[in-house]
Amino acid sequence: MEIANKDNYDYNKPYTSWVTKKPLDNTKIIAEDWWLKPMLTPSMVWCQEAGSEGDYISDYKSIGRSVRIVGTELQIYNLFCKMLKEKGWQVKDDYEAKMKPKYLELYKENNNKPIIINLR
């Protein structure tokens, strides 16, 4: 399990849903699984050619991954906006996940900021 998101981004910036015309909830902590669209990620491979000392070859590989997000509805929305802008994340689908005590503990350890848990 890997936890990300230790930064100074304002995940509590208010947002009103354009669908419901109501502010997003920032009180109840929830867990969601995001199935991300495949992305390209840099990949380096050591290549040892016959008769040479070898070198690294750079390439890209396509990865698809799933992550579990823990935070409030508002924090999860703001996290999505940040990850879309900074990393190009696009969510193919999302599912409600069962909240576990460990997730709440990790969330509190992260100063009540949303957390990203890689699901490998």
Tens digits of per-residue pLDDT, 20-68?
999 999 999 999 999 888 766 667 777 766 556 667 777 766 666 789 9
**Under a CB-based contact definition with an 8 Å cutoff, are residues 35 and 92 in contact?**
yes
| Residue 20 one-letter amino acid | T
Give per-residue pLDDT as tens, 99-109.
Answer: 999 999 999 99
The first and second tokens of residue 74, run together, are 């508002």
Query: What does pTM read for this prediction?
Result: 0.75
Q: What's the rounded Cα separation, in Å, for the pair 43 and 47? A: 13
At residue 86, the pLDDT reads 87
Per-residue b or e along 53-62, where b marks 16 or more CB atoms closer than 10 Å to that residue's CB: eeeeeeeeee
In this structure, are strands 29-36 and 66-72 parallel, antiparallel, or unpaired? antiparallel
